[in-house]
Chain A
């Protein structure tokens, strides 16, 4: 039973990692990355590592995507203001 669960979560992680890399728009990639973070947290819980799962949930699915989104916003705003002045 737990073997089957491990295999399923592992394959889900591999699938969503592929989706993260394949998504070329950084803002959408941040969302997929956040989903990958949740899946990884689930995988770590299956691996009996609740400490690591908690850490991954806080960092991988909240902090990193948030930083990426903020960077995307900054870069887009810059591009827009440059178009406006030229």
Chain B
């Protein structure tokens, strides 16, 4: 239990990498990259978790009455998610350009085109 969340994070990263490396379709590769990104979210939030603690929001919680989880990693993850989505969008735009210019989204065929 003490390392399971970290291991799941590592597993997500490795699975995403496997998908990226074996992908036959660039759009599919972008989806695998999204899985890789989610590994970082799981790892960051797992580092900040505290047993028996609650969310660090004090609108309905008396400050000091209960332990709270680490808000710093949560803030990092939050911006990570939104920035990750725009990077995904940028990559998809590049894929559309490749489809337009080369007529294929298969990375192996692309390599043959160049060589």
Interface of B is mostly: helix
Tell me which residues from 52 to 86 in chain A have a Cβ below 8 Å from any Cβ of chain B. Answer: 52, 55-56, 59-60, 63-64, 67-68, 71-72, 74-75, 78, 82
Specify which of B30, B45, B103 is in contact with A47 (CB 8 Å cutoff): B45
Complex CA distance for A80 and B11, rounded to whole angstroms: 38
How many chain B residues touch the partner (CB < 8 A)? 48
Considering the complex, give the chain A residue whose CB is closest to the CB of B79.
A55
Interface string of A27-63 (1 = CB under 8 A from B): 0011001001000100110011111100110011001
Cβ-Cβ contact count across A and B, 8 Å cutoff = 129
B54 cross-chain contacts in A, Cβ below 8 A = 48
Considering the complex, give the chain B residue whose CB is closest to the CB of A72.
B27
A64 cross-chain contacts in B, Cβ below 8 A = 34, 85, 88
CB of B78, distance to nearest CB on chain A (Å): 5
Complex CA distance for A82 and B100, rounded to whole angstroms: 11
Given contacts A24-B25, A75-B27, contact A3 B1 (CB under 8 A): yes
Complex CA distance for A11 and B8, rounded to whole angstroms: 8
Given contacts A44-B45, A49-B55, A71-B95, contact A20 B31 (CB under 8 A): yes
Query: In the bound complex, do residue A26 and residue B82 qualify as a contact, i.e. CB atoms below 8 Å apart?
Result: no
Interface string of B7-36 (1 = CB under 8 A from A): 010011001101100001101101110110
Complex CA distance for A67 and B31, rounded to whole angstroms: 10
Query: In the bound complex, do residue B4 and residue A10 qualify as a contact, i.e. CB atoms below 8 Å apart?
Result: yes
